[in-house]
Amino acid sequence: SQTIHQWPATLVQPVGSPLSLECTVEGTSNPNLYWYRQAAGRGLQLLFYSVGIGQISSEVPQNLSASRPQDRQFILSSKKLLLSDSGFYLCAWSVGTGVRQPQHFGDGTRLSIL
Amino acid sequence: ILNVEQSPQSLHVQEGDSTNFTCSFPSSNFYALHWYRWETAKSPEALFVMTLNGDEKKKGRISATLNTKEGYSYLYIKGSQPEDSATYLCGERTSYDKVIFGPGTSLSVIP
């Protein structure tokens, strides 16, 4: 069966520090991969998605970036965190083809910027 | 409608009451409509994926309907139980690659 791993579960970082969140999927090949953020009191905002290795689409301009170095690995990064980067980050995957396929989410990372 | 919208933002009901909430979405580039249940301290869990106008889906006491022509979907919960307390997210798939989510409806079921 397919599983998704996301870490760390919680992270406290100072303003201006770098960030690296990692997400890996097991049990499937060539998944679509997604990074979402939920800011306090708001819904899920799509940040990045990827349909293949090295292919990244950005939904919102920001100081975050994403990379997909391997088929089932998706990394969210920042060189310098801002206070506004605080929130709950979720990684998700879906089967690469077929509009009826749901998204499967990881457990999330709670990021607090001090 | 330019974004996926959900109403109400939050809802408190008594155990045993039936309830429903609404998801409104732009219908111009519609591929599918997703519903998820997101319980506290867990990850969102898929409930339904609907693609056809008039679709109705049911899972236990929860059901959903879809109107793609007017751009809305309803989620119904019959006989709410405390374990139904969660945030219910709807998302519109606007291409083969991505789903755009609404802000969610937070449901609290009071025993």
Tell me the chain B residues in contact with residue A32 when contact means C-beta distances shorter than 8 Å: 97
| DSSP per-residue letters across B51-110 | -STT-EEEETTEEEEEETTTTEEEEEESS--GGG-EEEEEEEE-SSS-EEE---EEEEEE
Mean pLDDT of B7-29: 94
Q: What is the mean pLDDT of residues B30-39?
A: 94
Chain A: residue whose CA lies nearest to B105: A43
pLDDT at B27: 79
- Mean residue pLDDT across chain A: 91
Integer Cα distance of A60 and A46 in angstroms:
8
Q: How confident is the model at residue B41 (pLDDT cuts 50, 70, 90)?
A: confident
Contact B103 A101 (CB under 8 A): no
How many CB contacts within 8 angstroms connect chain A with chain B?
Answer: 57
Task: Report pLDDT for A39.
Answer: 76
pLDDT, position B1: 55
pLDDT band at A44 (very low <50, low <70, confident <90, very high): confident
Average pLDDT for B24-41: 90
Give pLDDT tens digits for B46-80: 999 999 999 999 999 999 999 999 999 999 999 99
pLDDT of residue A12: 96
pLDDT digit string, tens, across residues A54-69: 999 988 767 899 999 9
